[in-house]
Structure formats: C-alpha cells, structure tokens
Amino acid sequence: MLSEYVLRRRVQFYETDAAGIVHFSWFFRYMEEAEHALWRAAGLSIHPPDSPIGFARASATCDFKRPLRFEDEFDVTIRIAAISRKTIQYSCVMMKDDVTLATGSMTVICVRTEQDGSLKATNVPEEIAARFAVAAQV
C-alpha cells in the first residue's frame, strides 16, 4: 500500500513566463503529474482505456512560497491525506533542496459517466482503495 510518492522534476523553458519564472498554473500540473506517478507506482492508471469511472477534480489549492526558474530541479511529494467512500484527498509539497517552494492540496471525486453523458459520484472501487493508505504525516 502506498501513501506517498516523490517525483523529481526539472523546469522546462516552456513552463516559464517572460521573466524566466515558472507560471503559477504549472504548480497545479506538477501536482497532477505527481498524482499520476503515485498511481503508476501503485500499479494503477488513473484513467485506463474504456474505464467506466474517472476521478474529477473537486478542489485544488496552492500556496506559493518561492519562485522556480528554468532548469531548476525540484521534488514534488504527494501524500494521500484522506480516502472516503467517494473521494481521495492529496497534500503536496514542492521543494528545491531543503527549501519549500509551494504547498498544495487536491480533492478528487470518483465519478461514473451516465448514458446521457453526465457524471455521477460513485464509490472508489475497493481494488483501487486497497492500493493506497492514508499517510501518517500530512
């Protein structure tokens, strides 16, 4: 059972603005990239082909502490903060060396696509929930 994963990342030029600083929107992408890496490390895919369920974003936050620049190497640590019947909550910390760059959180809802195309909340399948554990330190 996995409760956290650390993704090592390098800033790409296209992620920066005219000042050479990473645009704020990329921090959300970094969190999502770490989420997908966590799922792969657990032997899963967050959206396998022909899956009847998906994981819609219910909320996402990010608090920025320090800037990131082109070619900076940094780590994104994602942790399972909570799992309920229908949701998974993550906490994230992005660090360069021993300096916190940003902290964030995401909540995803397990959804099923109805025949009319609408989404309806559904229980997280047991075979998925069994691969994850709530982190001891969030």
pLDDT digits (tens, 9 = 90+) for 93-135: 999 999 999 999 999 999 999 999 899 999 999 999 999 999 9
Of 17, 50, 63, 98, the active-site residue reads 17
Q: How many domains, the chain? A: 1
* 81 pLDDT tier (thresholds 50, 70, 90): very high
pTM above 0.85, yes or no: yes
* 138 pLDDT tier (thresholds 50, 70, 90): low
The answer as to whether 74 is a domain residue is: yes
The answer as to whether 138 is a domain residue is: no
The answer as to whether 137 is a domain residue is: no
> In this prediction, what percent of the chain has a pLDDT beyond 70?
99
CATH number for the domain including 48? 3.10.129.10
The answer as to whether 77 is a domain residue is: yes
Cα 89 to Cα 15, 105, 115, distances in angstroms = 26, 7, 28
Q: How far apart are CA 79 and CA 1, in angstroms?
A: 12
The answer as to whether 119 is a domain residue is: yes
Task: Outline where DSSP puts E strands in 28-121.
Answer: 53-64, 73-83, 87-96, 99-113, 119-121
> In which domain, by residue range, is 37 found?
4-129
Average pLDDT of span 52-63: 96
Tokens of 55: 């994981």
Please indicate whether residue 50 is annotated as part of the active site: no
